[in-house]
Structure 1
Amino acid sequence: MHIKNPGYWLTALILALAVQTPVSAHPGGVNGEGCHTNRKTGEYHCHPERVKTTAAPASIVSEPALPPATPIPAVPATIATETPVTPASKILKLDYQGFTVWLDCSKRGPTKFRYSAQRDSGNFKRYPDFFLDPNVPAECQQTSTKPYGHGYDRGHQVPANHLDYSDVAIKQTNFMTNILPQTQQMNRGAWERTEEIIECYRDIDELLVLGGVIWGDNPADDFFIESHGVKTPDAFWKVIIRGTGQDERAIAWIVPNSTDATKKNLDRYLVTVDEIERATGESIPVADYAKHDKPSNSWTIPHGCNKG
């Protein structure tokens, strides 16, 4: 059939070039998609039944992939949370190596802590620097690791010395999630004396130590809201439990965060476990008969005890 209209052939040529593939059309043959151009009619059409199935190139054949390796962090990751962080509940439970801290996100500070003090078997040294916990949301932490100033120390809730069997644990005690403003007199006085009692008695009995914060409402000493994002607690509490069964004993203190809280004044702050439960709403895991006992004096430091 003779087609006089030259535009027909121009259209057919453009169509053929537009669909050209790396496998060229040829009489009777098809390209990689199973298609070709009928040279007699100029029609481009396909034959799906003539598509050849080819093996995958050797270059993409490989052995089954191994599962990805688990990265080993420099410091074991923080395990959080006890409850999800929601507007109604903003407490993170942080399980560090050898101790646990409950972090109040709304206050950017620890609200309570717990650990077992066992026989002293280590001598790792305390870190000179303080750190933010890389695994805790920034909005739950203090905004700086710098010293507080104004006569306040970066006070530990859980002391490094009681975890000196582990370099990792000692470093984690210097996370700011374990630190709050404590007056120098209190931190190096009455609070430190409670730590010395634990240091000495852990070689006699395994001890369960619990403690926490009484925040209060005293804006006059809230010097660190702008610099660190944290308020200054009014007081701190601590309970030491030793023995089991009928031999279970406990001692407890509520220590004011004041310049008067020196070592010689520690006995002034003795309270019953029951008083702490009523003041904080916490449930202390000690026998009922021991909750109402208050010794007349703090436990005596045994002669020759190495408090270091």
Structure 2
Amino acid sequence: MSIIRHKHFFLSYSEEHEQAEWAAYYLTAQSQTQRHCYDRPYFRQDPLVDTESAHWRNYKDTGYDKGHLVPAADMRFSEEAYNETFFTSNVSPQNKAFNAGVWNRLEQKVRYWADKYSALFVVTGGILEDDLITIGEEEVSVPEYFFKIVVRVQNDSLVMIPFLIPNAESDAPLYTFATTIDTIEQITGINFNQKLVERIEEKIKKELSYKEWSFS
């Protein structure tokens, strides 16, 4: 895995699966007040990935969307930031109904939380494991599940809500996909506490705390 640091987000690229194992960024209420409309660019390979990120042609005629990990809609405060989200290192094969449905609902909820709580730290990725089906000549893995971890500060402590959602159509309420950080760490083998968050109290790490978040 190689850590790629763009100006507005960073990610860990998996050459084996030809996509990021996770991508992370900050989202603030202030950035959401500066939303602009930019022309949608073409997807292009990430110049910072030494092994070259997968080409967009791998997705052609597969029935899968090029699903953003860092949403383009979260980066409308800057054309540079918006365009960065169209590197192919920032996309993963997503079921069309999933991408346009439950995943889109979660992305909208994250923007709502950014407005409500002022600032968030967000980590997103597909569950990359052995024996996944693949698409394209470069054999881009198709995750069966996607995760999103949303972190905010409350009373000088960090509160997080992790989600684990099947890569399939669903009308279920978002809170039903809330899980624990331990579950995400066990499935992915990634220690997010160590890698991405400097300090998380043990009680926050262990508890299922979706009731701390507003879903209305």
Q: Give the TM-score category using the shorter length.
A: 0.7 to 0.9
1:299 CA drift (Å): 4.2
Aligned residue for 1:213?
126
- Out of 88, 91, 94, the residue aligned to residue 179 of structure 1 is 91
For 2:113, the equivalent position in structure 1 comes to: 201
1:287 equivalenced with 2:201 (yes/no):
yes
1:101 aligns with 2:101: no
Structure with the bigger percentage of helix: 2
Contact preservation (8 Å) 2:58, 2:140 = no
Deviation, structure 1 residue 246: 5.3
CA contact (8 A) 1:104 1:140 kept: no
Q: Which has the larger radius of gyration?
A: 1
Query: Which one is further off, 114-123 or 278-287?
Result: 278-287
Q: Which amino acid aligns with 2:145?
A: A
- Alignment CA distance shift 1:264-1:298 (3 Å): farther
State whether structure 2 residue 44 is matched by structure 1 residue 131. yes
- Which aligned runs of 4 or more in structure 1 are off by greater than 6 angstroms? none
What is the percentage of aligned positions where both structures have the same residue? Answer: 25
Number of matched residues?
Answer: 206
Match of 1:294, SS state, is: coil
Q: Structure 1's 202 and 263: CA in aligned 2 closer, same or farther, altered over 3 A? A: farther
Equivalent residue number for residue 75 of structure 2:
163
Instruction: Flag the 1:102–1:217 CA change in 2: closer, same or farther, 3 A.
Output: same
SS in 1 for 2:103: helix
Partners of 1:108 and 1:211 lie apart in 2 by: 16
Query: Is the contact between residue 211 and residue 237 of structure 1 (CA under 8 Å) also seen in structure 2?
Result: yes
Answer whether contact 1:106 1:140 (CA < 8 A) is retained.
no
For residues 129 and 263 of structure 1, do their structure 2 counterparts lie closer, same or farther at Cα, with a shift above 3 Å needed? farther
Residue segments in structure 1 that go unaligned for 5+ positions in a row: 1-90, 303-308
RMSD: 2.4
- TM (norm. structure 1) is 0.60
Confirm or deny: 8 A CA contact 1:183 1:258 kept in the other structure.
yes
* TM-score relative to the length of structure 2: 0.83
8 A contact 1:253–1:269 mirrored in 2: yes
- Paired residue for 1:229? 139
Change in 2 beyond 3 A, CA 1:239/1:143: same
Show CA shifts across 1:145-193 (max 9, x none). Answer: 4644443110000001111111011101011010110101221222222
Contact 1:234 1:257 in 2 (8 A): yes
- Counterpart of 2:128 in structure 1: which amino acid? W
1:279 is paired with a residue whose SS is: helix
Q: What is the CA-CA distance between 1:238 and the residue it aligns to? A: 1.1
